[in-house]
Amino acid sequence: MLRLTKATIVILAQSHNPSIISPEWVRRVLSIDESPGNFVHTPPFSIFDSTSYLLTVDTARLELVSKSLDDEHISATGRVASAYLRALPHIPYKTLGMNYIWTYSLEKTDKRLPQLRLEIDGLDLEKTFKAQNIRYGGILRIAYKPYILTVNINYEGEQTVIFNYNFSYTMKTARQAANATKSFLPSKVHSEELTTLMIGGIK
């Protein structure tokens, strides 16, 4: 079974201002109407934790977690990040990352997990390491425009394969980054399609 287990947006900057993240500011500027169940508000670090969102901000890093993983909430999370960037265009931003973790676990009818294979110019790794049972993981890095996609693939125990996606944008302007967050849902769909293709290709 393939399922999405985490979806986040991370914005790195030279100097975020955590002290502005008040419940009123979040409601008015980011259009999050939910009351926080947990809230921390300090100059160096702030947390806004509601039913659908977890927003943490320190001076270098903002992370926005979509706690609900349906398409509606993921799309809304992209709009929240866009609103933040548009409200604070003067902050010297560095990078925008959109991240998804997909978990593929054995069905009851499956005997074993699909096994990744790695080929390096015809090198037989099983002979090289003198082992008949090798577990392959790996990191794939693909340069697209305007982002770089990194996929980290690894096994978790005997039942699960984890596919961790990062769509990373170098920020030129806050406006461009705000527009990029609109693809939070399409990027989720793309990561699911890629994972499905990889699983289907694993023998």
pLDDT, position 110:
63
- Mean predicted confidence (pLDDT) in 142-154: 94
Residue 49 scores a pLDDT above 90: yes
Q: Pinpoint the alpha helices (H) of the chain.
A: 23-30, 71-87, 125-128, 174-180, 184-201
Tens-place pLDDT, residues 81-107? 999 999 999 999 999 999 999 999 887
Residue 165 scores a pLDDT above 70: yes
Residue 202 scores a pLDDT above 60: no
- Mean predicted confidence (pLDDT) in 155-171: 91
Instruction: Name which residue leads in pLDDT, 3 or 115.
Output: 3
CB atoms near residue 138 (< 10 Å): 10
Task: Compute the residue count for the chain.
Answer: 203
Between CA 144 and CA 26, with CA 85 as vertex, the angle to 5 degrees is 135
Tens-place pLDDT, residues 62-78? 999 999 999 999 999 99
Q: Is this model's pTM higher than 0.85 or not?
A: yes
Gap between the Cα atoms of 192 and 102, Å rounded: 8
The whole-angstrom distance between residue 194's C-alpha and the CA centroid of its chain comes to 15
pLDDT, position 114:
67
Residue 152 scores a pLDDT above 90: yes
| Summary mean pLDDT of the chain | 90
- Mean predicted confidence (pLDDT) in 19-23: 93
The whole-angstrom distance between residue 150's C-alpha and the CA centroid of its chain comes to 10
DSSP codes joined into one string, 46-74: EEEE-SSEEEEEESSEEEEEESS-SHHHH
Residue 203 scores a pLDDT above 50: no
Residue 191 scores a pLDDT above 70: yes
